[in-house]
Structure 1
Amino acid sequence: MQKNNKLIRYVILAFALFATMFSYYVWQIAKTPNYQVDEKKGFALLIPKGATFDTVWDSLRVHKVVKDELSFKFLAKLLKYKENVREGRYVITAEMGNYELIKKLRSGRQDPIRLTFNNIRLKKDLVHKIGNRFQFDSTTLATMLNDSAVARKYGFTTETIMCMFLPNTYDVYWNVTPNEFFDIMHGWYKKFWTEDRKRKAAAIGLDPIKAQIMASIVEGETKKADEKPRVAGVYMNRLNARMPLQADPTVVFAHQDFTIKRVNSTLTKINSPYNTYKVIGLPPGPINLPDLNSIDAVLNYERHKYMYFCAKEDFSGYHNFAENFTDHLNNARIYQEALNKLNIHK
């Protein structure tokens, strides 16, 4: 009897020891960091639609991400990840253990792509900015931007559709579809155009699209936030007086040559709906994606009597303003002399 009790105690002790060792092993393979990735950037694992565990494993193996392959596969099987592969983009960090990553992959808890729009003039610039950062082909985006039916769906034309893409930073999931991407951008567009902003636009004789077109001209003229309302005031004065806006950035846009630094009388002869030296009123679409503060500068433009402005001769980025053409010519002469001294003729 004593021998049996002793045997039982040994068995229990052995089992407890085994259980402890097994638990410790499981804890190690679950919690111990197991990925050799950049400590700052990590590694973005892209899992396309229809992918299997083998697809995921091939990607991890090719990029040599997993240190202990056996432990990863063991826990993946234990947690039934093979039956729960979900598409998306998942950032793997250096401090992650197997359990944390596999639970993340199983749940479909993606890491979004941070997308920032700035310094964009043309549709091709926008397409290039987005590039191949998402699962969809960027050529699909280019096609949609030129599709009148798509533009009409969101309340734009193919000339004004760029207004929908407000310069900002957005978090967008990698596996978003082109249509979903457009819906997201339109959602942010509607969020920006609050009832207050719409009322301000209507009060100055504009709608949101026209306000953004005007803002794109202001953006093309100055990067100085404190000067934008004054520049906007000049163009609103011209617009209300039914005189040509004569905005040099629109001429540059018409020529599609953004290396032009000096707009002369030869350049202003171009036949284009974007040449505001020839066409009265606003051009048919924006000439860039203006900053949000440029849009607000138009909605809250400075009331004054200035009808002209010219870049300052100190090349500070600011401008000299004038109420009459005579004073403007004098300001222009001073600036042109400064350009000539630097041998800038184009």
Structure 2
Amino acid sequence: MYIKKILIGIALLGLVVAAYFSYFVYTTMFVSNTAFNNERAYIYVSSNDTYDSVREQLEPLLKDIDKFDALAKQKKYVSNIKAGRFEITKGMNNNAIINSIRSRNLPLTISFNNQESLEKLAGRVAQQIEADSLSLLTAMTDSGFLSQNNFSEATALGMYIPNSYEFFWNSSAETFRSRMLKEYNRFWSDSRKRKAKAIGFSQDEVIALASIVYEESKQASEQPRIAGVYMNRLKIGMPLQADPTLKFAAYKLPQYKNTIIKRVLNSHKSINSPYNTYTNRGLPPGLIAMPDISAIDAVLNYEKHNYLYFVADAQRLGYHKFSKTLSEHNVKAREYHAYLNSQGINK
């Protein structure tokens, strides 16, 4: 009788232990453990992150980090961290959270435009993916990569076509660069290549001129006409005389560091630089900024006309007035200079 009571007691204890274990497993794996009110939250796991780093991001998002720890150890996540951008949705349990951050790396959309240099492009991209600006710039300026793909230091920025692209957050600098090369080659379709050939330009030359057109006007409707002016000048051997190239050349000089040139002066026209299109005929060695796609297509489809000159329109800022003769242009230029004077813009 005594032995029977002992056996019953052991059985009851076993049931209690089993019930507790079942409850613990259930609450650890299948009960909601999120503590945030938004519909979703994201964590970003770097390539060299440890479990402690991931845990630090998760702790404010979860109700019970200890139960998450227990399951993470059981499922061996603590020793098998995956890099990437991961989503946690409101109401998720620990099992679903671990499955998500272990195998569901979500892509994101990155974008860039109007970048004046590779340095600024690297900084812009570094704000959106794991790779830092230094590693990106190093990859972008790698001489072996550039020469292998027919780019130079002067034309390298032209490989990056401004747009929106889908990437994994943990993409490396080399991955970003390689993808951009593919996008560049895709952008230069057979149709665009034929158009470049028809006007006697290489792809680099198209982008170089497009960068000037884009710096002259952000108005897509006006860009083909401006491109036509420059094409007319090139055809007759006239210097481009593009003010944006003077600014580009000036900003390379120490005395113009951390300054903004609002008005091109005669002193700028004497700067000794291959980018000075007042003293040098033809196109500059490379692009002066990242042109928008509209400006590239404006060069490839430039407007056929007889204009040789244009000047900013003081009555419609952002637009220009066009002229066929220098005398006509000088009248319009004086109008704009009077406007600049009235605004106190003298440098």
Secondary structure of 1:92's counterpart equals strand
How many residue pairs get matched?
332
Whole-Å separation in 2 of the counterparts to 1:68 and 1:158: 53
Distance 1:52 1:333 in 2: 66
Distance 1:327 1:113, change over 3 A: same
**1:323 aligned partner:** 324
Q: Mark the CA change 1:59 to 1:238 in structure 2 (over 3 Å): closer, same or farther.
A: same
**What's 1:292 paired with?**
293
Equivalent residues in 2 for 1:40-51 (5 A)?
42-49=41-48, 51=49
Cα 1:338–1:47 change in 2 (3 A) is: closer
Q: Secondary structure at the match of 2:306?
A: coil
Q: Distance in 2 between matches of 1:41 and 1:218?
A: 43
Following superposition, the deviation at residue 266 of structure 1 comes to: 1.0
- Structure 2 Cα separation of the partners of residues 169 and 31 of structure 1: 39
Q: Is the 8 A contact 2:113 2:290 kept in 1?
A: yes
Query: Deviations for 1:255-274, whole angstroms, at most 9, x for unmatched residues?
Result: 11561111121111101111
- Find the counterpart in structure 2 of residue 72 from structure 1: 68
Give the counterpart letter for 1:101 in structure 2.
I
* Partner SS state of residue 42, structure 1: strand
Percent of matched pairs sharing the same residue: 41
Is 1:273–1:279's contact at 8 Å kept on the other side of the alignment? yes
The match for 1:114 among 104, 109, 115 is: 109
Q: How far apart are the structure 2 equivalents of 1:40 and 1:265?
A: 59
Change (3 A) 1:242 1:30: farther
Within-5 A mapping of 1:154-173:
154-173=149-168
Change (3 A) 1:323 1:53: same
Aligned counterparts of 1:31 and 1:308: Cα–Cα separation in 2: 73
| Shift, 1:114, TM fit | 3.0
3-state secondary structure, aligned to 1:152: helix
Cα distance in 2, alignment partners of residues 244 and 37 from structure 1: 63
Q: CA deviation at 1:215?
A: 0.7
Q: Where does 1:1-346 land on structure 2 (aligned, <5 Å)?
A: 29-30=28-29, 32-37=31-36, 39=38, 42-49=41-48, 51-61=49-59, 64-107=60-103, 109-131=104-126, 133-256=128-251, 257=256, 259-346=260-347
Question: Where does the alignment leave 5 or more consecutive residues of structure 1 unmatched?
Answer: 1-10
CA distance in 2, matches of 1:35, 1:100: 11
Let me know the Cα RMSD of the aligned residues. 3.0
Q: Secondary structure at the match of 1:139?
A: helix
Code of the residue aligned with 1:216 in structure 2: it is: S
- The one-character-per-residue Cα deviations of 1:110-143 (angstroms, maximum 9, x if unpaired) are 1234321122112221122133654434222223
Alpha-carbon deviation of 1:293? 1.1
Given the two structures, how large is their TM-score scaled by the length of structure 1? 0.85
Looking at structure 1, the residues matched to 296 and 39 of structure 2 have their Cα atoms a distance apart, in angstroms, of 36
Aligned residue identity for 2:313: K
Distance 1:339 1:35 in 2: 59
Range with greater deviation from structure 2 (30-39 or 187-196): 30-39
The answer to whether the 8 Å contact 2:208/2:287 transfers is yes
Kindly provide the amino acid, as one letter, of the partner of residue 332 in structure 2: N
What CA deviation, in whole Å up to 9, does each residue of 1:158-195 have, x standing for no partner? 11010111111122223222222210110111111111
Distance (whole Å) between structure 2 residues aligned to residue 188 and residue 40 of structure 1? 34
> How far does residue 337 in structure 1 lie from its aligned partner after superposition?
1.1
Q: Which range is displaced more, 332-341 or 39-48? A: 39-48
Whole-Å separation in 2 of the counterparts to 1:150 and 1:204:
28
TM-score normalized by the length of structure 2: 0.85
User: How far is 1:150 from its partner?
Assistant: 2.3
**Counterpart residue number, 2:5:** none
1:8 maps to none
Q: Is the 8 A contact 1:45 1:91 kept in 2?
A: no
Q: What is the DSSP-based 3-state SS (H/G/I as helix, E as strand, rest coil) of the residue aligned with 1:267?
A: helix
Letter in 2 for 1:177: S
Task: Provide structure 2 residue ranges, at least 5 long, that are not aligned to the other structure.
Answer: 1-10
Deviation, structure 1 residue 319: 0.5
- Say if 1:276 and 1:23 are closer, same or farther in 2 by CA, change over 3 A: farther
Amino acid paired to 2:93: G
Q: Quick one: which amino acid aligns to residue 292 of structure 1? A: I
- Runs of 4+ aligned structure 1 residues displaced above 4 Å come to 21-33
Q: Using a 3 Å threshold, how does the CA distance of structure 1 residues 139 and 281 change in structure 2: closer, same or farther?
A: same
Further displaced range: 268-277 or 257-266: 257-266
Residues 298 and 67 of structure 1: CA distance in aligned 2, closer, same or farther (over 3 Å): same
- The alpha-carbon deviation at position 89 of structure 1 amounts to 2.7
- Whether the 8 Å contact between 1:37 and 1:93 is mirrored in structure 2 is no
